[in-house]
Structure 1
């Protein structure tokens, strides 16, 4: 397998396929600033295929909805060519059906588009180490699917994480995109206490990012947007 141009020994080469430029740049910057990554970018399937023909990367990060086709095609093609390349779907919140389909054709995990920069780099590194970065939310969705339990959460599924009313209020603020200061002001609490609440929320929901926390809360019917 040819090494991408400019890659140095020990670096992880990553191809980002995403037609939304700001999203693509944000992911690229997160990896570049973390260090240890050599990043290539493509805005559509044609560009991605051309880059793969020149030199296959270690990791493919691809959106599914692209201007000239579906990223599922690219995942299938890449997986047929090589079982060594790690593949991750760039997903939006609540797009679990597409994530499941991508996993079935060869993806190893998924990355939410609104993930924090440190989460982006860490998730890619976890993928390369042989892990499959799939949140508890997606894992449970897979279980429900295999058990024939598709559909919205039932009343008995609600708040299985045992979130407190205050934690649910803070989770709603996270879902709305409020800053820590905004959440604190809205709830009349100290801004310094918000990170502690969020840490507890992540632990109880078994998630690692804001997007995953919101997705799980929506699945359980804890909040509505």
Structure 2
């Protein structure tokens, strides 16, 4: 059987292979020109068939379908490769893309979608099952940076709290900042009030948890 788009199937499961044959038979523009159940046979015989599209299962009895994908990319660069697999995990998808696959469908894809995706693949598209496309989107999306925390503390209060976190006493903090211990205590009370803290340690904990102090 031949059509405008020649297709080679690399699939070892007889039930799946028959379903793909039935799908392709529904479209007069798609022609199945060869089938292989083993990776070694596909690698040895696929070049002579010179297909437009190669459909490849990943789990083959004698190896990984990715070997077939790599072979096609190297020896038949004009052919488009679609992985058709039960594996819907991100590592399998990324490995297939890195090997040279330009499409990736799950095996539960319906007949009409299956054939449409082959046409899209041959036309230069990269059909990917929606659940798999989400893996790619998650991987490529840049995390939205969190807005920096707005501190209720003044610079001096932050400096005092940082010194407290380092274990300095009121007297030591006063000497460091050139203010009296009484002024330091007033600032500490303001820190308690603004953070709703019960003690120095509690104030340090609250400030760190809110990103107001470095860990």
Q: Which moved more, 1:99-108 or 1:89-98?
A: 89-98
Compute the displacement of 1:136 (Å).
4.0
Q: Which protein has greater RCO, CA pairs closer than 8 Å, 6+ apart? A: 1
State TM-score, norm by structure 2: 0.60
Aligned residues of 1:13 and 1:58 also touching (Cα < 8 A): yes
* 3-state secondary structure, aligned to 2:9: strand
Compute the displacement of 1:49 (Å).
2.2
Which of 20, 24, 33 is the aligned partner of 2:26? 33
Compute the displacement of 1:99 (Å).
1.7
Aligned residues of 2:47 and 2:76 also touching (Cα < 8 A): no
Aligned positions, number = 142
Q: CA distance change for structure 1 residues 81 and 53 in 2, over 3 Å: closer, same or farther? A: closer
Gapped runs of 5+ residues in structure 2? 144-215
Report the aligned-residue RMSD. 2.0
Question: Partner of 1:20 in structure 2?
Answer: 13
Answering whether residue 68 of structure 2 is matched by residue 102 of structure 1, we say: no
Q: CA distance change for structure 1 residues 51 and 147 in 2, over 3 Å: closer, same or farther? A: same
Gapped runs of 5+ residues in structure 1? 1-5, 150-225
State the distance in 2 between where 1:32 and 1:47 align.
24
Compute the displacement of 1:81 (Å).
1.7
Compute the displacement of 1:139 (Å).
2.8
The structure with more radius of gyration? 2
State the distance in 1 between where 2:2 and 2:27 align.
15
State TM-score, norm by structure 1: 0.58
Question: Partner of 1:112 in structure 2?
Answer: 106
* 3-state secondary structure, aligned to 1:34: coil
